[in-house]
């Protein structure tokens, strides 16, 4: 008989990647939603970074902290309570695993579809086990983020000089819009000797497949974005502001003019990070293609034709860090 000297159990810590924290970047574009120049500045930021910080967005701090408190209450429940609403399929509670293809991170999360009918079973279970105030905080928050997302998309249409100004926002407003919402908790990561000056990766590098994402975090930093030159920079946290992330679909709809930004999150060694993200997506049947009103004469699409449902199917077959748009680019 063969006797194994080591139990055949993989330590999850050994699978999670580590990363050296990078210097804080002071060059993140900051856009005031009430600035008359916002439409121009916003397009410029999306072309250059695919990312910006939105201030004066009109969502009061206590509205955001109300959900943050509820999220913390949920993440403080016992592991067995939380596991009752997992594993994510893709909706529900997940811990350390991200997506169905072996990605892992120092994170636990709740992932929901914003259309309650789609994930009603899991969602109901999540909220049944928690006070009613959690459900209403999530619903109110999603609806506020959807409004902000739509306002930003309308300004983007204005800034690009395309009409009607709801060409993009109508996709999020559609009752069949396939939008997601995610509450992430990155617990403090252990200071393992072997990590010497490195942090555990909470959420590995990726781009968001949707049109636009609206992110808010507590005061713990950790988010990093990849600049055009390939360097990674740390985004200083700001719990009062919202951060806007251009997704793959918006890159395609603008024929590459706006870029979907690669980003990742490092866990902090001392403090918990809580982030909440609304991912604005189109209806499943929507064709994702460059907007006709944006194309110059003779300009050709850089991408093959595909629907959001096809793109999502392909995304869920990929690993987090894969370049998902590659499969849809014209040769
Ligand atoms: C990245 C953006 C969103 O968080 C998300 C993620 C999704 C998941 O966690 O279920 C994915 C990831 C995200 C892209 C590739 C696939 C799908 C995990 C994964 C490996 C909810 C989304 O829409 O795409």
- The active-site residue out of 182, 259, 273, 324 is 273
* pLDDT tier at 292, thresholds 50, 70, 90: very high
Closest CA to 16 of 73, 89, 97: 97
The boundaries of the domain holding residue 265 are 18-317
pLDDT at 119: 65
Mean pLDDT of the region 149-167: 97
pLDDT at 304: 97
pLDDT at 128: 66
Name the residue with the closest Cα to ligand 1, atom 14. Answer: 320
* pLDDT tier at 193, thresholds 50, 70, 90: low
- Ligand 1 atom nearest to CA at 100: 20
Q: How far, in Å, from the CA of 161 to the mean position of ligand 1?
A: 31
What average pLDDT is seen over the chain? Answer: 93
Q: How far, in Å, from the CA of 99 to the mean position of ligand 1?
A: 6
Lowest mean pLDDT of 6-15, 128-137, 157-166, 292-301, name the range.
Answer: 6-15
Q: Tell me, yes or no, whether 326 lies in a domain.
A: no
- pLDDT of 51-67, one tens digit each? 999 999 999 999 999 99
Mean pLDDT of the region 68-76: 94
By the 8 A CB rule, do 18 and 131 touch? no
The tally of domains found in the chain comes to 1
Pocket of ligand 1 (CB under 6 A): 90, 98-99, 101, 103, 111, 180, 182, 206, 208-209, 279, 315-316, 318, 320
Q: Tell me, yes or no, whether 99 lies in a domain.
A: yes
For the ranges 12-26, 114-128, 280-294, the maximum mean pLDDT occurs at: 280-294
- pLDDT of 238-270, one tens digit each? 999 999 999 999 999 999 999 999 999 999 999
Q: CB neighbours of 290 closer than 8 A, spacing ≥ 6?
A: 252, 253, 254, 255, 299, 301, 302, 303
- Ligand 1 atom nearest to CA at 98: 9
Cα 194 from Cα 169, distance rounded (Å) = 48
Q: Tell me, yes or no, whether 132 lies in a domain.
A: yes
Q: How far, in Å, from the CA of 316 to the mean position of ligand 1?
A: 7
Q: Tell me, yes or no, whether 220 lies in a domain.
A: yes
Q: Tell me, yes or no, whether 218 lies in a domain.
A: yes
Q: Tell me, yes or no, whether 31 lies in a domain.
A: yes
* CATH code for position 208: 2.60.120.330
Q: Tell me, yes or no, whether 7 lies in a domain.
A: no
Q: How far, in Å, from the CA of 36 to the mean position of ligand 1?
A: 35
- pLDDT of 84-136, one tens digit each? 889 999 999 999 999 999 999 999 999 999 987 776 676 667 776 666 888 88
Active site residue 273: yes
Is the pLDDT at 192 greater than 80, yes or no?
A: no
């Amino acid at each position: 008989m063969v006797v194994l000297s080591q139990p055949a159990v993989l330590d999850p810590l050994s699978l999670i990647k580590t990363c050296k924290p990078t210097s804080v970047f002071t060059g993140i574009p900051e856009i005031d939603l009430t600035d008359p120049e916002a439409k121009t500045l916003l397009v410029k930021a999306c072309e250059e970074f695919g990312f910006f910080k939105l201030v004066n967005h009109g969502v009061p701090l206590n509205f955001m902290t109300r959900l943050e408190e509820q999220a913390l209450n949920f993440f403080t429940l016992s592991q067995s309570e939380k596991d009752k609403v997992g594993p994510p399929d893709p909706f529900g509670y997940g811990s350390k695993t991200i997506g169905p293809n072996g990605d892992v991170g120092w994170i636990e999360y709740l992932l929901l579809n914003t259309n309650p009918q789609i994930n009603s079973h899991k969602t109901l279970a999540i909220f049944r086990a928690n006070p009613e105030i959690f459900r209403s905080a999530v619903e109110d928050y999603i609806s506020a983020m959807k409004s902000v997302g739509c306002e930003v998309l309308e300004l983007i249409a204005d800034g690009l000089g395309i009409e009607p100004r709801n060409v993009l926002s109508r996709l999020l407003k559609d009752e069949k819009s396939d939008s997601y919402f995610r509450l992430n908790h990155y617990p403090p990561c252990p200071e393992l000797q072997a990590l010497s000056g490195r942090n555990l990766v909470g959420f590995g590098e990726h781009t968001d497949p949707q049109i636009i994402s609206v992110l808010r975090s507590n005061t713990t930093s950790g988010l990093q974005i990849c600049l055009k030159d390939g360097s990674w920079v740390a985004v200083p946290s700001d719990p009062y502001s919202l951060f806007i992330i251009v997704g793959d679909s918006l890159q395609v709809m603008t024929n590459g003019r706006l870029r979907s930004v690669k980003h990742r999150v490092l866990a902090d060694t001392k403090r918990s990070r809580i982030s909440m993200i609304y991912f604005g997506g189109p209806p499943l049947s929507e064709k994702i293609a460059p907007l006709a009103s944006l194309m110059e004469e003779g300009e050709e699409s850089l991408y093959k034709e595909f629907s959001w449902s096809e793109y999502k199917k392909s995304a869920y077959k990929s690993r987090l860090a894969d370049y998902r748009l590659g499969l849809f680019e014209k040769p």
